[in-house]
Amino acid sequence: MRVFKFGGASIKDATAVHNVLHVLKTIGFTNSMIIASAMGKTTNALEDVVNNYFDKPENLDESLQLVKRYHFDIINELFEDKNHLVYSKTELLFNEMSFFLSNNKSPNYNFVYDQIVSYGEVLSTTILSLYMNEHAVDNVWIDARNLIKTDTTYRDAVVDWSKTATAIQSQIQSHKLYITQGFIGSDPNHFSVTLGREGSDYSAAIFAYCLDAESVTIWKDVSGVLNADPRYFEDTILLDQISYHEAIEMAFYGASVIHPKTLQPLRNKEIPLYVKSFIHPELSGTSVTKGADLIPYVPCFIVKKKQLLLSVASKDFSFIMESHISDIFKIFDENHIKVNVIQNSAISFSVCVEDKFNNFESLKDELSKKFNVTFNEEVSLYTIRHFTEEALERVVKDKTVLLKQVNRDTVQIVTKE
């Protein structure tokens, strides 16, 4: 079985959905599975719904109606028959969201987030499946929440691989086309969970691993894995082929093309990963496979914006020892703060972090009980794999360097614009 992942950009409007049909007819679709994200920027729009639910209830209905109008505008373009089943099914999903928001008793933001935001993928795949059936691409829609089983870490759930494999293998058969959701699963009580932002790639890897898939293809609006993000760098170069190890390194440092959790399950079963363009599906794109010598022949640039540079120092000018570092990391973990760079001196400890869950104030308050804490907001973290002096100069030009760390293959630089 082949696994195809289509992200939000590939199904952002009716024209894009038409193009998915074109891609499937170009590459074939029997014995395959489609993992789809929410349409366009739906996840962001549903986050607004959740934020309004907690903070601005007077804006709640309008924010939900915006999401509804967006999806029905796409449906109206895709389906000529205004009595088509897609209308009632989509309406039902929005009614379910409204019912939950009206009856929920939980004050847990992350729990509510997952119950609402997960509908983005359910909506997109419902529309996509019915549209494909209309155009002779017979498929089976399946709910990923019945298949991917996790713990209760809402917004960043941990997969129960044993239960997930059993569910997937019992419900997925060969020689059919399945359409299901990325990014979502369910906890032991069958409440919806999400796997972390951009988690649809990870979902594709989970299904591929459990099904011993032939390959995974991630369809993007770029030609493959590039040596830099074209939003920040000119003259980017396509990497035709790289190793699992290299891809894992790039994803770990923040390369946006592949989700960090995606590579490990694929590598463990040596399932090839292809990153290809949904605009030009005939092109070969990038392949990620086994091979120690498959390293890029050019420097690779990775950028993470909106970071925090945090310095923690002892209050009595004593050395920062292993016990201090252990305490510091425990506080990071408790606040779900991801650390991207670490650098320490005798009496201070500096880290570049990202605050995905808006827990920085809590983190700062906790650290300040034992340490002096200083920080810089809105900094950028640049990572250069296989760096050269020319590549390094290209990054630091016209920027203030706050931190620099170099090893044999990689340099990381925290800058302020």
pLDDT at 292: 67
- Amino acid (1-letter code) at residue 414: V
User: Could you tell me the pLDDT band of residue 175, with boundaries at 50, 70 and 90?
Assistant: confident
Residues 8 and 110 in one domain: yes
Q: Is residue 214 domain-resident?
A: yes
Decide which of 203, 220, 237 is a domain's last residue.
220
pLDDT category at 305 given cuts 50, 70, 90 is: very high
Domain boundary among 204, 220, 236: 220
Provide the 3-class DSSP secondary structure of residue 371: strand
Q: Do both 162 and 19 map to the same domain?
A: yes
CA distance 183 to 147: 12
Q: Are 345 and 319 in contact (CB under 8 A)?
A: no
Residue 373 inside a domain? The answer is yes
Residues 6+ apart with CB under 8 A from 172: 1, 33, 142, 178, 207, 211
Query: Is residue 415 a contact partner of residue 382, using CB atoms and an 8 Å limit?
Result: yes
| Amino acid 349: pLDDT | 86
Q: Verify that 206 and 307 share a domain, yes or no.
A: no
**Token digits of residue 63:** 């924010």
> Maximum distance among all alpha carbons in the chain?
74
Residue 417 has pLDDT above 90, yes or no: no
HSE-CB for 248 with a 13 A CA cutoff: 13
390 pLDDT tier (thresholds 50, 70, 90): very high
92 with 198, same domain: the answer is yes
- pLDDT at 145 (0 to 100): 98
Span 85-112, average pLDDT = 98
pLDDT of residue 320: 78
Asked if residue 53 has pLDDT above 70, the reply is: yes
Within-domain flag for 49: yes
In this predicted model, what pLDDT tens digit does every residue of 177-209 receive, in sequence order?
Answer: 999 999 999 999 999 999 987 789 999 999 999
**Residue 212 included in any domain:** yes
Average pLDDT over residues 69-82: 97
The enclosing domain of 315 has a CATH number of 3.30.2130.10
DSSP string, 93-128: HHHHHHHHHHH-----HHHHHHHHHTHHHHHHHHHH
Q: Are residues 65 and 167 in the same domain?
A: yes
| Nearest by Cα to 375 from 346, 409, 414 | 414
Tokens 């292809």, located at residue = 274
In a domain, 128, yes or no: yes
Domain membership of residue 14 (yes or no) is yes
Indicate whether 64 and 162 sit together in one domain. yes
Determine how many CB atoms are found less than 10 A away from the CB of residue 275.
Answer: 26
Burial (CB count within 10 angstroms: exposed 0-12, middle 13-18, buried 19+), residue 362: middle
Give domain status of residue 260, yes or no.
no
Predicted confidence (pLDDT) at residue 68 exceeds the cutoff of 80: yes
Q: Identify which of 38, 40, 34, 37 has the alpha carbon closest to the alpha carbon of residue 216.
A: 34
Mean pLDDT, the chain, rounded, equals 94
- Check pLDDT > 80 for residue 257: no
Domain annotation covers residue 271: no
Question: Measured between alpha carbons, how far is 210 from 188 in angstroms, rounded to an integer?
Answer: 19
Share of the chain above pLDDT 70, in %: 100
Phi, psi of 347 (to 5 degrees): -120, 5
144 and 29 fall within a common domain:
yes
Are residue 11 and residue 146 in the same domain, yes or no?
A: yes
**What digits encode the pLDDT tens for the residues 272-300?**
999 999 999 999 999 999 986 778 889 99
Domain boundary among 220, 248, 276: 220
Specify the CATH number for the domain of residue 77: 3.40.1160.10
Clarify whether residues 59 and 159 are in a common domain.
yes
Q: Look up the domain containing 321 and give its range.
A: 300-416
Pick the range with the lowest mean pLDDT from 51-65, 321-335, 372-386: 321-335
Is residue 120 pLDDT above 80, yes or no?
yes
Asked whether residue 320 falls in the same domain as residue 214, the answer is no
By the 8 A CB rule, do 387 and 299 touch? yes
Q: Are residues 63 and 212 in the same domain?
A: yes
Question: Is 217's pLDDT higher than 90?
Answer: yes
**pLDDT tens-place string over residues 306-359:** 999 999 998 887 887 788 888 899 999 999 898 999 998 877 889 999 998 889
Query: How many domains does the chain divide into?
Result: 2
